[in-house]
Amino acid sequence: MRRRITLPLVATGAMVATLAVAAPAQAHGYVSSPPSRQALCAQNRVPDCGQIRWEPQSVEGPKGLRTCHANISHFAVLNDDNRGWPATSVGTTVTFTWVNTAMHATRDWEYYIGNTRVAVFSGGGRQPGPTVSHSVNLSGYSGRQKLLAVWNIADTANAFYSCVDLQIGGGGNPPPSPSPTTPPAPSPTPTVAPTSNPPAGGTWTAGRAYAVGDQVTYGGRTYRCRQAHTAIAGWEPPNVPALWSLV
Amino acid sequence: MAGIDLLFLSMMAGHTEQTLQIARLVHDRLADPDLRTLIAAIEVTEADELATARGWLAQAGRSARADEHAGHGTGPDQLARLRDAPAGEVDRVLVEVLATHQKGAADLARAHLAAGTDERVRDLARRIEQSRTAQVAMLAAHPAAA
């Protein structure tokens, strides 16, 4: 059995009352994209969901259920089809991403529409990473569909459940695309040759090694290196005061 | 901040605490100066990120202690490998363990960029996704990589 870690609470703020009802005691997983019903609650896109908005990863029940709430009464909102769940417009192939707050050894992941299992992926009894993505072909389906995603744990009797409302094919907008590669782009384009040492005041350049005391410009400002490192995207001087101080 | 943002911060705080734990296990024992430099820079940048995440969690009334430590990326067995690595093996084990660990952070951040709502948290996720992805590439290119 996995170590249980309770959520200690800071005894201030309006959230205490809600959190104290059922602080997540054990870690789990849920479908974050396309947003499952519990993700929509946790995003505040669907209001008045109750406790699930703080712990979308906690819809756990015995294996073999076909409900959205794992028959947990205080998550019943998830199984209510009349809550105006927005459906995500998708093509016929959909990539589902699970966020796992604990990497339980996995029997498999199953995807159902109605009583039909549309896809299954073996977990091989291994522990997954903190995220897992599956590409599921839904070409036999169109229009609005309620899909049930199930994560079957290998070493317990339980599974985790996520319902995802989809608008499949024709007419819808494409789903909002994740933008992991979009840089914040406040920087001028680096033009310095990558092998030479930066002259004082040279432009900050990813891939270059900087020593303590080196000075660079970035976004029109000058910074001095305070910790030796090789520059990388995400470590732009204004973002990492531990590496650069503003001159 | 919405629940989904707080959950991400909580998970990332736990993940970052583990990064610092990994760094502490090896930073005095690494042979290669480039690896020492990388680890030192990761330590100071992630310490700042952890403080930021904890601050936002505290503002939201949620404990700064991550509640979801149990399964985070790198298990006790991997930490034990680092701790027990003999002198000549520390660099190689660190490269392997840290690359997997930081890939997990990049994956979590990428998932949050697709699902998160708070702009400040999304900006943090963007920087985490970029920096960890770059670190994984650096570790993969290191001579100590398998």
Contact A228 B115 (CB under 8 A): no
Nearest of B136, B80, B16, B74 to residue A130 by alpha carbon: B74
**What are the backbone dihedrals phi and psi of residue A42, each rounded to the nearest 5 degrees, phi first?**
-70, -20
- How many domains does chain B contain in total? 1
Domain harbouring B116, CATH code: 1.20.1260.10
Complex ipTM more than 0.90, yes or no: yes
State the smallest CA–CA distance between residue B64 and chain A in angstroms.
9
The whole-angstrom separation of Cα B106 and Cα B125 is: 8
Say if the Cβ atoms of B111 and A184 lie within 8 Å.
Answer: no
Which two tokens mark A37? 């019903």
Above 70 in pLDDT, residue B144?
Answer: yes
* Residues with pLDDT less than 70, chain A: 1-27, 170-201
Compute the count of residue pairs across chains A and B with CB atoms less than 8 Å apart.
Answer: 186
CA A225 to chain centroid: 33
* Distance between CA atoms of residues B14 and B63, nearest Å: 12
Q: Is B146 on the interface with A (CB under 8 A)?
A: no
CB proximity B40 to A under 8 Å: yes
A13 contacts on B by Cβ (under 8 Å): 60-61
Residue A178 DSSP label: P
Tell me how close the Cα of B127 comes to any Cα of chain A, in angstroms. Answer: 4
Task: State chain A's maximal CA–CA distance in angstroms.
Answer: 67
- Residues in chain A within 8 Å Cβ distance of B115: 32-33, 35, 39, 43, 99
Q: pLDDT tens, B12-50?
A: 999 999 999 999 999 999 999 999 999 999 999 999 999
The reply to whether residue B70 touches residue A131, judged by beta carbons under 8 angstroms, is: no
Query: Measured between alpha carbons, how far is B63 from A45 in angstroms, rounded to an integer?
Result: 24
| pLDDT at res. A192 | 41
* Predicted TM-score of the model (pTM): 0.85
Task: Give the C-alpha separation, A223 to A246, whole Å.
Answer: 4
Question: For B48, which of A13, A182, A242 is closest by C-beta distance?
Answer: A242
Residue A9 structure tokens: 């609470």
pLDDT at A14: 36
Residue A1 contacts by C-beta under 8 Å, 6 or more apart in sequence? A156
- A120 burial (CB, 10 Å; 0-12 / 13-18 / 19+) is middle
Please give the pLDDT value at position B36.
Answer: 97
Domain of residue B104, residue span? 3-63+71-145
b/e code A175-187 from CB counts within 10 Å (16+ = b): beebebeeeeeeb
B114 contact residues in A (CB cutoff 8 A) = 32-33, 97, 176-178
Say if residues A203 and A228 touch (Cβ distance below 8 Å): no
